[in-house]
Amino acid sequence: MGTTTTDIRVTTLGNLTLLTGTFRNGGTTVSYDGFLSDVMMAGGNITSGVWTGILVNDVGGVAAGSVAITVNNQIATHTLHKGQAIYKSSQGTGIHNENSTYTRIGIIEGMNGGGTSIEIVGGTETALANDDRIYVIGPSLSAINAEVLGQATQAAVTVGIDEVNKTLNIACGTEYTNNIDAFAKESFQHGKWFALGRR
């Protein structure tokens, strides 16, 4: 179960009030009772990495400034898109966790037809090792490729509004793989949430 900051921030916008906060390690529930009588809209965003299922496939590694990255299989074209920023984790080839930090690799310029090579605008901003995992920050499209990848990743923040109990129900999704890692269905995603309504 995720956690939220205890310092819910309140901003007055005319006759409306904006609540904001953060969460760590996936979904959580936030009470807006005492702050808002009615929530008009709510939402959230991920601020940490989401694994795409893609691994670097270059025994010699990839030097900083390289214009292309060879990857493990043909899923890159199904999971990533031109113009998207990609990242590596401080855990390198290991599974990222709640303490992971992320370094930007670069912006995707394109991919080859087989999806086994990712081209980077202006070259990679950092060096990569063989089997480094490639992440995105934000929703991952990997969930739609669960059958192809042998994994399911649902990493898009949704915020439900429980008007009876006056809570925001934040769901962040989980990562689960059955062909590469056998780690439990657990979310390591961190993010920010907001709710706009009347006092």
Residue 146: its pLDDT value, please? 46
Q: Is pLDDT at 168 greater than 80 in this prediction?
A: yes
Residue ranges and CATH numbers for the domains of the chain are 13-47+153-198 (2.60.40), 49-137 (no CATH)
HEC profile of 62-78:
ECCCCCEEEECCCCHHH
- The model's pTM: 0.76
What number is the average pLDDT over the span 176-182? Answer: 46
**What percent of the chain has a predicted confidence (pLDDT) above 90?**
40
CA dihedral for 147, 153, 157, 163, sign (positive or negative): positive
Give the span between the Cα atoms of 32 and 36, in whole angstroms. 6
One-character DSSP codes across 73-104: STTHHHH--TT-EEEEETTTTSPP-TT--EEE
**Percentage of the chain with pLDDT > 70?**
77
Whether 177 has a pLDDT exceeding 80, the answer reads no
Residue 127, pLDDT above cutoff 70: yes
Identify which of 140, 137, 133 has the alpha carbon closest to the alpha carbon of residue 154: 140
Q: What is the mean pLDDT of residues 112-118?
A: 83
Could you say which DSSP state residue 149 is in? H
**pLDDT, tens digit, 9 for 90 and up, residues 39-91:** 999 998 888 887 787 889 999 999 999 999 999 865 677 778 889 999 998 88
